[in-house]
Amino acid sequence: MNQDTLEQVAKMLRSQMKGAGHLWWIGGFVYGQTSNGDVFVILYPAADHLKEKVVRVYDYDLKKLPAFIPVEGVDGGDTEANPSKEQARRKGIYHECPAFEICTFDGKDTQMGKERRFGEVLRLSKAAREALGQAGQRPAAPAQPQRPAEQRPTQGQARQRPPQSPLDEEGAAAGVGTLSLPDYRALALAAKTEAEFDYAAYMVLKNGLYTAVARITAVRQAIVIGWKPGERSNAAMLSALQIYRDKRAEVEGRGEDEKAAKQFARQEAMSAYNEAIKGGGR
C-alpha cells in the first residue's frame, strides 16, 4: 500500500471517528481513585465552551497518557462524581495541560447511552510536543485528598481492548510515556510568540490567581498593551507578572477591595517592567 493510499485511509478513518464523536482535543484533567485504591484520570475537552468530562482513563491505560500528566504517587481525588470544569476549578483540583488529541470507543450500554471508553493518544499540539521535549522519567504527582470512591470497571469491561488507532499524521504520539517536563522558565524566556510565552509563564506562575493561561494573557495585556516577545521583554514581563500576582495578594490580604488591589498591582508591575526594559531593545 503506497503513501497516498495510506493517507486517504487515515483521512477516511478520522472522518468516520469524528462523525461518531470519538475524536477529542484534551486541555485539562482531574485525578480520581477507585474504592480499590487504583488511580484514574478524568480528561476534559480543550474547547472553552465544553464544560463536562470526556472520558475516564483507568489504571491499565494510564501509561498511554503524555508524561506531563503525572500518574505516580497520586493519593486520592474527586471520585464522588465527574465534576464540570468550573466545579473542579472551584475545588482546586483541575489541572490545565497542553492540548493533545485522543480517540475513544463505545463501551457497554447504559441508561444514558453507550459508555465512552479511552482508546489512544493520537496527536500532540505544538505546546504539548514542546512539553515533552526533554528525555527523562515521568514525574510524580502531588498527593490528593482521598474521598469516597466509585466502583472501577468489572473484569469483563477491563478486558475490552481499544480499536486500532488511526494513523498518527505527525508521529507525535510515539514514546509519550517516557519523557519529562521541561524548564518552563527557560521556555518563557526563549518564547518567540505570545502564545508560547503565555503558556510557559502560566506553568511557572500558576496559583490561585493564575488558574488558566487566559488569566496570564489578560494580565499581560493589562500591564503592557501591544507587548511582543523578545529577549529583554520576555524576562521583564515574566517578572512583572509575578510582581502583579504578589502585590495583588498583598493588598487583598490587607482587606482592600479587588479594584484597588488590581490598580495597585498593575502600577507596580508596569513600573517593574519599564525599569527592566531600560537600556534599549525588547
Residue type, 19: G
What pLDDT score was predicted for residue 199?
85
Q: Give the residues of the chain that fall short of pLDDT 50.
A: 134-181, 281
What pLDDT score was predicted for residue 154?
47
In the chain, domain spans: 3-180, 184-277
Q: SS3 string of the chain?
A: CCHHHHHHHHHHHHHHHHHCCCEEEEEEEEEEECCCCCEEEEEEECCCCCCCCCEEECHHHHHHCCCCCCCECCCCCCCCCCCCHHHHHHHCCCEEEEEEEEEEEEEEEECCEEEEEEEEEEEECHHHHHHCCEECCCCECCCCCCCCCCCCCCHHHHCCCCCCCCCCCCCCCCCHHHEECCCHHHHHHHCCCHHHHHHHHHHHHCCCCCCCHHHHHHHHHHHCCCCCCCHHHHHHHHHHHHHHHHHHHHHHHCCCCHHHHHHHHHHHHHHHHHHHHCCCCC
What pLDDT score was predicted for residue 32?
87
Question: Looking at the chain, how many residues does it have?
Answer: 282
What pLDDT score was predicted for residue 25?
93
